[in-house]
Structure 1
Amino acid sequence: MIKARLLTAVGMTAVAALALAGCSSAADAGDGGTSNEKVTLRVLVNVTPNLTEKFWNDLVAPFEAKNKNIDVVIQNPGAEGVSAAIPRLLASGDAPDIVQSLAPNGKLAPELVDLSKYEWAKKGPLAEQYSMDGKYLMAGIGVQLQSLFFYNKTAFKEAGITEVPTTVDELTEDLGKLKDAGWTPIQEGGDWMSSATLQALALPTIVSENPKWFQDVSSGKVSFGKTYGPAIETFADWVAKGYVPKDALGIKYPDAEQAFLSGKTAIYSMGSWFMGSQAKATDSADIGVFRAPATKAGDKPAMGANIASPYSILKASKNQDASAKLIEFLTTDKKAVADQLEIDGNFRDGYEYDMTPLGEELLKIVADTPASDYTPTGGGYGERTMPDGFSGELNTQTQALMGGTPAADVIKSMDAWFTANAG
């Protein structure tokens, strides 16, 4: 077995020239098994404190052992990150074979190979939702849930709440009970996280009622204010009643997370990756989770989710067959998928790993959510996208709500933004 190597994306041109020269017949050897010709696959990946060099090397090692003519070279983008490295590498003619962690978008899509001929790609997590113009340009390992409310079980018990809320009205009532019991009802904060709670209030119902809401509001067919307005009004009401801390705008994300973990607040809207933080905490509160509720009783709300670890093949690759074989392994092999899910706290129905009780609650939500019920959040993905800048504007306007701006003014500002940017 040839051990995978880690290369930085900075200064790779000379190395890449040597690598490409060594696989000049890659089109013939690209099946990864019918030729003794050595194939070198360069994979640009997200390297983090969790996704370390050792993790990536160990992950691809079994694949290399079974495909001895394929050498997988892991490329580290360094401080600039994958999203910044890819345009530069494409422009320099030094693109990798595979890119990990970037969801296809309008700018990147023309550079990617259509994987539609592979059943494993078409049947993967969120595959249809991320498709563009009928093309499947990536394959992922699982999902990151986003329309979630984590809650302090001790707080709920002290407030006399025996069941988690399933409607927005029930949630509002529970927030009042928590405040009366002496708890800070909602953990909020500044920075990018400000709009997390508002999105969890709005999107599940909006998208369940209109699956094409992203396209319709972006084209001007549907009014943002009329569809999102009720959630904005509810959130403003929560602020007025003191359910949101008055100093929330000054609270940084790490501090907000720690406050909830340590049991200082009752409810925290955040993505499923919070499970990883809770698992590492040495003295965590007793925490559970429920999906964002529907507006009307009996309705099944959609679930905001993003793809976990998407892999795509660059059209510039001379090793596309071998690349597809590696991605198939990374996204379908039981151990490879489970290892990737566990390391970053992601989920996939049918794939289990050693989980905390909170992780098991999240996995149950995944198992109970049909693929058709998943929705983008923020700026969207695939063919369900918002005009550029939407996420930032929504965050700014949510912070205005937290500062006391009336809901009507925020709705008017958002509608004006869409008038200027949609169409």
Structure 2
Amino acid sequence: MFTAGRRAAAALSAALIAGTMALTGCGGDDSSGGKTLTLWHYEGPDSAMGVAWSEAIKEFEATHPGVKVKFEEKGFEQIQKTAPMVLNSRDAPDILEYNKGNATTGLLSKQGLLTDMSDEVAKRGWDKMLSPSLQTTARYDQRGVMGSGNWYGIPNYAEFVMVYYNKDLFAKHGVKVPTTLDEFTAAMETFVKAGVTPLAVGGKEYPAQQILYQLALSKADRGWVNAFQMYDGKVDFHDEAWTHGATTFADWVKRGYIAKNSAGIDAESMGTSFISGKFPIMVSGSWWYGRVAAEVKNFEWGTFLWPGNTMSAGSSGNLWVIPENSENKDLAYDFIDITMQKKIQNKLGNSGGVPVAADPAAITDPKSKELIENFTTLSGNDGLAFYPDWPAPGYYDVLVSGVQKLINGTASSDQVLDEIAKPYQEHAGTIGE
């Protein structure tokens, strides 16, 4: 869903994209007479996806003489806020990474801004490579609701939220890896009593809202998730799950498990603070795995699934989508096909990602094996619960604001739940219109 470095103010984002539009066209012929495939994504070069996709670009150019890939790295926030404007213009790229879910890919598919890939999916056999749970986020019906209908994107990796921990700090303070939420709470209490803030948290962007969602999921089941994510039933934001999530999150702030200044911390700063050894615990996604593996130098670290939960935020990875205005759709399909090949999938797996079509025997890195095994456990339990910001357009910002108020203490948990309920219910009322 999200990766490191997804930050940029809306005004700056618009300016950057406007600059790109002014300087270059997207797709079409280049000055040498060959074609150019313009590709956007927001993965860091050292991330598992960044490493694998860099390899895919090399493979694509080697197998497509005369075609040049013009890669443009964008920030997550940049694409999130400006995609509808850019994709509705002549300057749309040929292919880009985009966030999956009703509020993003679903909305753009409903607006006619994305290419329906259904025929190509069947032709190239991508549907055979993706399990039903991974297909959920690739298909959208005429309402823009995920889970059925036409194919508007292809994921080539999976992701999930988990707990990263500093083994050295755990050992120093006599803390064992928790297996229940009560044990997790006790572990954080031990750190606080020793003067150590347990959790690295980014409240300015996505990470904090995922902690609230993880807490809510500890009291939820598949029916609850489907009602919230797919409008398959009534959603009560003051039920046991949501109430537990908000009240417990607020309590964690009061107890010092979450720093009060974290409301102003972005995801990048959260991640680097954990990597530097400042915090013993970070709750975030598998998209951080490759970077943590590459950059942690001074301590031993590991991961575990959120204690006590059978469900966790997670899904297929973000999607390769092709704008309806793409001038090189055939080339875009070829690039997607290369990212699904064993060579690239194995590279992704050994770089700390969660591949969807790798050869298990080819994954040789022990930590990568652990990561993939944890995902297999979660997926095997039907435990992928998607992400809390998906159901409604603009809901990401609603949740960021709500969780920041819990951190700052400027609103009660009931008030925050009312705040996040209103835009959700308003949007849910428009489904089917």
SS of equivalent to 1:45: strand
The answer to whether the aligner puts 1:174 opposite 2:192 as a matched pair is no
| C-alpha distance in 1 between matches for 2:296 and 2:403 | 33
Kindly indicate whether residue 37 of structure 2 is the aligned counterpart of residue 50 of structure 1. Answer: no
How far apart, CA to CA, are the structure 2 residues paired with 1:17 and 1:322? Answer: 11
Q: Which moved more, 1:52-61 or 1:227-236?
A: 52-61
Distance 1:85 1:239 in 2: 33
Q: How does 1:22-421 map to 2 (within 5 A)?
A: 40=35, 42-46=37-41, 50=45, 59-63=56-60, 65-66=62-63, 71=67, 73-76=69-72, 91-93=88-90, 95-101=92-98, 103=100, 104-108=105-109, 110=112, 111-115=114-118, 116-118=121-123, 119-121=125-127, 123-124=129-130, 126-133=134-141, 134-146=149-161, 148-165=162-179, 167-192=180-205, 193-203=207-217, 205-215=219-229, 221-226=234-239, 227-281=241-295, 283-294=297-308, 301-308=310-317, 310-316=319-325, 320=329, 323-331=332-340, 333-340=341-348, 345-348=352-355, 350-351=358-359, 358-370=367-379, 372-380=382-390, 386-404=391-409, 405-421=411-427
Q: Is the 8 A contact 2:39 2:71 kept in 1?
A: yes
* Preserved contact between residue 113 and residue 312 of structure 1 (Cα < 8 Å): no
TM-score norm. by structure 1 comes to 0.74
Contact 1:64–1:72 (Cα < 8 Å) also in 2 = yes
In the TM superposition, residue 49 of structure 1 has moved relative to its aligned partner by 5.3
Structure 2: distance between partners of 1:341 and 1:9: 35
User: 1:223: Cα distance to partner?
Assistant: 0.6
- Of all paired residues, the percent bearing the same amino acid is 24
Task: Note if contact 2:199-2:258 (Cα within 8 Å) is conserved in structure 1.
Answer: yes
Q: Distance in 2 between matches of 1:64 and 1:195?
A: 40
| Native 8 Å contact 2:246 2:413 kept in 1 | yes
How far did 1:335 drift?
A: 1.5
Contact kept, 8 Å, 2:158 with 2:316, in 1: the verdict is yes
Pair 1:244–1:211, CA change in 2 (3 A) = closer
Q: Aligned letter for 2:376?
A: A
Cα displacement (A) at 1:244? 2.1
Counterpart for residue 4 of structure 2: none
Q: CA deviation at 1:197?
A: 2.0
Instruction: Say which is worse superposed, 179-188 or 396-405, in terms of deviation.
Output: 179-188
8 Å contact kept, 1:96–1:314: yes
Give the letter aligned to residue 272 of structure 1: S
Query: Residues of 2 paired with 1:196 and 1:73: CA distance?
Result: 35
Segments of 5+ residues of structure 1 without an aligned counterpart are 1-7, 23-37, 296-300, 381-385
Deviations 1:136-189 (A, max 9, x none): 22222102322x111222333344433432x32332232223333443222234
1:265-301 per-position Cα deviation (integer Å, ceiling 9, x unaligned): 2221111232233233353432221112346xxxxx2
Q: Is the 8 A contact 1:287 1:358 kept in 2?
A: no
Aligned to 2:12: none
- Flag the 1:242–1:89 CA change in 2: closer, same or farther, 3 A: closer
Do the aligned partners of residues 76 and 319 (structure 1) sit closer, same or farther apart at CA in structure 2, a change above 3 Å counting? closer
- 1:16 deviates by 5.1
| Consecutive unaligned residues in structure 2, runs of 5 or more | 1-19, 142-148
Aligned partners of 2:202 and 2:266 also within 8 Å: yes
C-alpha offsets along residues 395-414 of structure 1, whole Å, 9 cap, x if unaligned? 22222222234333333433
Decide whether aligned partners of structure 1 residues 205 and 335 sit closer, same or farther in structure 2, where only a CA change above 3 A counts: farther
Per the alignment, do residues 289 and 314 of structure 1 end up closer, same or farther by CA in structure 2, a change over 3 Å counting? same
- Most deviating of 261-270 and 244-253: 244-253
> How far has the Cα of 1:302 moved from its partner?
2.0
Whichever of the two has the greater Rg, that structure is 1
**CA–CA distance in 1 between the matches of 2:185 and 2:74?**
45
Question: SS at 2:378's partner residue?
Answer: coil
C-alpha displacement of 1:57: 7.0
Cα displacement (A) at 1:231: 1.5
Evaluate the alpha carbon distance shift between residue 42 and residue 201 of structure 1 in structure 2; reply closer, same or farther with a 3 A threshold: same
